Amino acid sequence: MAHFAQIDENNTVLQVIVVEQDVIDTGLFGDPAAWIQTSYNTYGGVHILGGTPFRKNYAGIGYTYDLDRDAFISPKPYPSWLLDEDTCQWNSPVTEPADGEMYSWNEETQSWDLDEDTCQWNSPVTEPTDGEMYSWNEETQAWDLIP
């Protein structure tokens, strides 16, 4: 079995299915020329299992098949991002910080903003781990047992 992407007249991926090549060739799913094989294990021009990369990226709905590059390319996420010709992946004009925090791209400022939704606050006193349920009491700055 293989993965095939159906493309429209603009080379936009409409769907991806798993099917045998001979079924595609029969025309059961329409014009065989509208189906391009894609590799589930290829991402950024690398086969994640060590095999031979195929068409730069696994196709997804909304991706474009670029005939000249023989590659599937995801939709451009932001106007400022640039296509890496080797990987056919979109890159931000500024490298995302690699400090373990979560960031979101800010197109207006052309920078990475700390994703506040993923920030975690820790209490000044460690919550007891005796199996009971506790809630933090801001007034007393202590953990209160939940009855």
CA-to-CA distance for 83 and 144, rounded, in angstroms? 54
Length of the chain counted residue by residue: 147
Whole-number pLDDT of residue 124: 64
Whole-number pLDDT of residue 136: 77
What DSSP string runs through 58-125?
A: ---TT-EEETTTTEEEPPPSSTT-EEETTTTEEE-SSPPP-SS--EEEETTTTEEEE-GGG-----SS
β partners of residue 42: 47
Inter-residue contact 53 to 40 (CB < 8 Å): no
Whole-number pLDDT of residue 6: 98
Residue type at position 77: P
**Per-residue tens of pLDDT for the chain, all 147 residues:** 999 999 999 999 999 999 999 999 999 999 999 999 999 999 999 999 999 999 999 999 999 999 999 999 999 999 999 999 999 999 999 999 998 888 999 999 999 999 876 555 555 667 777 777 777 777 778 887 777
Inter-residue contact 115 to 127 (CB < 8 Å): no
Whole-number pLDDT of residue 32: 96
What is the number of alpha carbons within 13 Å of residue 2 lying toward its C-beta? 15
Inter-residue contact 1 to 18 (CB < 8 Å): yes
Whole-number pLDDT of residue 121: 54
